[in-house]
Structure 1
Amino acid sequence: MLPQLSIGIFVGSQELAGSAIDLLRDERYALTHMKSAVEFLGLLKHNYHLDCLVVEVDGDRRALLSKLQERSLFLPAVIFSPQPAEDGIPEPPPSDHFEAAPSRADKSQEQSCAFFYHPAEVQLPIARASEIAASIDRAIAQFLKLSTPVPINDQSASVDATTQLTAQSLLSRQQRRLAEKLRERLGYLGVYYKRNSQIFLRNLSESDKQKFLEQLKSSYRDIVLHYFSEDSSVNNQIDEFVNLAFFADVPVTQLVEIHMELMEEFAKQLKLEGRSEEILLDYRLTLIDAIAHLCEMYRRSIPKELSQSKISLG
């Protein structure tokens, strides 16, 4: 059985909720109807596996979307709004492989950056609620192409580079999870990760660079401490570490340096305790694992078209 797309519905109007549920009552969807803010946040906190949110815009829900932004929790989203479309013309549905060309409304939305949650959301007037299924497909297609949760021009000066990189890392993780599900369902081939050179390590200020490297080293320390344990979360820790390194364009030599510094710290501690340092040799596997994950991120970052042209020319 093909994997279902998990849709979370959180709207104020019971009539609108009922209409959306009826329209999406299909074997391709698994629906969750959330009726309160507590249920909404609880679901995202404890079960971060929704594939798309369907949310009605009002004061309370707008505040909840802001909370998701603050926590760097990003998902494809269809935002119900009371405003009718400018021209009243429905948007064309996307292709079966989530590769729809951007519509006039999409381009206008991207240019104005007028969004409630993130730039890839789809805003659907309530009067056109019957288009919910096509809007979900379009929201997923746009989300998979989203390169940064907030456009550079709209980013607050108070948001430091480490926070931006963390948000970028969590976004890419969610995109990869969704792309893997779509590959099972539709043969979708992957995600092209676009990076923001302004937050590359080499372009950061000295203070931001130091802060980021401290966070990266702390993350790697946690991986080393749990690498040989039975804690299954270490794989997620490696993913988060590699995502941070990838979006900051951290060179492999810097990862090796972090590893060596940490091994030196551990060696001093073992020496004080009168224990052998040979155990540290095993942690070369940790470094190899991290570098292998980073190489995979770079492989996935190559657009399908470019990859195929290289193969054909080779």
Structure 2
Amino acid sequence: MRPQLSIGVYLNSPALPQSLEQILASHERYAMTVVESTQDFFQLIQQHKQQLDCLILQDSSELPAIIEWLHSQATLLPAILVESEPHTTRPPDFTFLYHTGEVWATLADLEQVDNLIANAIEGFLNLSPSCQIPRETAPPDPTRDLTTQNFLMLQQRRLTEKLHERLGYLGVYYKRNPQAYLRNLPPQEQHELIEALRLEYRAIILSYFTDETALNHRIDNFVNAAFFADVSVAQIVEIHMELMDEFAKQLKLEGRNEEVLLDYRLTLIDTIAHLCEMYRRSIPRES
């Protein structure tokens, strides 16, 4: 059987989840999980965010806090936001609440929830890794921003593969948006992306020869970010060499031998090998 799409639902009106469940029950391709409180919703996200394919949330007084929590968890997912009444939460100059790929709907629109889910997934797959995310209270945090970008790209890849499998396609394809390529971003966003990659690569180097069990996952996240931004191997090498120069100066100030840095050529080789494998697997297989 082809995989079902997993839908997470939190609607405040008691009758809505039941009626929505009846609508989705007519479509075998969906598996719906309904929660009845914000705490249950937070628990659902914490335990299953890597498996969820779309969220359906009701526009209420709780929604801004829920969205802010999702942002704090570096979690972006396809989303349908259901208005109980026109513009319950949205101010007159409103553009988006969660991310630019979100889909807004009325209660009457839920009769066509199949189309809403398709639109929400399409909007999500077209999100740029550097897409704008509203954060009115949280201070800037480059590490969190990179974590959000990595989660977004991993979810886009997973969802693309799942859709291809559902539609009967052969092979593994990676959906990349040319608008998100490093060379196509505005100068400020280019700088921010390179700096975020540099910080993550620095963390990889500092933990490379330790027993950190999450190291491979960290390298995978770094490579995913580089791949979807179409960052070249030459740019990865440049980041590596800049960091080696930085560390060499620090070692010299401390009166220590710089030759230890030669061992970190392994880090570069490992990272480039991962990136090359991503590019190799992105080539569609011949059927």
TM-score by length of 1: 0.65
1:193 aligns with 2:194: no
Contact 1:11 1:56 in 2 (8 A): yes
Q: What is residue 72 of structure 1 aligned with on the other side?
A: 74
1:134 aligns with 2:105: no
Q: What is residue 125 of structure 1 aligned with on the other side?
A: 106
Equivalents in 2 of 1:77, 1:144: separation in Å? Answer: 12
Contact 1:246 1:294 in 2 (8 A): yes
Q: Which moved more, 1:19-28 or 1:143-152?
A: 143-152
Q: What is residue 48 of structure 2 aligned with on the other side?
A: 47
Q: CA offsets, 1:210-236, max 9 Å, x none?
A: x87665444224434655777663333
Equivalents in 1 of 2:55, 2:202: separation in Å? Answer: 35
Q: CA offsets, 1:18-73, max 9 Å, x none?
A: 11122223542222111111121222233322110011111102321233234431
Q: What is residue 61 of structure 2 aligned with on the other side?
A: 59
Distance apart, 1:249 and its partner CA? 6.5
Equivalents in 1 of 2:41, 2:126: separation in Å? Answer: 25
Q: What is residue 90 of structure 2 aligned with on the other side?
A: none
Contact 2:182 2:229 in 1 (8 A): no
Equivalents in 2 of 1:284, 1:215: separation in Å? Answer: 21
Q: 1:202 to 1:165 in 2, by over 3 A?
A: farther
Percentage of pairs with the same residue: 42
Q: 1:262 to 1:62 in 2, by over 3 A?
A: closer
Q: What is residue 89 of structure 2 aligned with on the other side?
A: none
Q: What is residue 32 of structure 2 aligned with on the other side?
A: 31
Contact 2:174 2:282 in 1 (8 A): no
Equivalents in 2 of 1:36, 1:218: separation in Å? Answer: 37
Equivalents in 1 of 2:280, 2:102: separation in Å? Answer: 27
Partner SS, residue 19 of structure 2: helix
Equivalents in 2 of 1:201, 1:83: separation in Å? Answer: 38
What runs of 5+ residues in structure 2 fail to find an aligned partner? Answer: 87-92
TM-score by length of 2: 0.71
Equivalents in 1 of 2:164, 2:237: separation in Å? Answer: 34
Q: 1:204 to 1:131 in 2, by over 3 A?
A: closer
Equivalents in 2 of 1:236, 1:79: separation in Å? Answer: 32
Contact 1:256 1:287 in 2 (8 A): yes
Q: What is residue 97 of structure 1 aligned with on the other side?
A: none
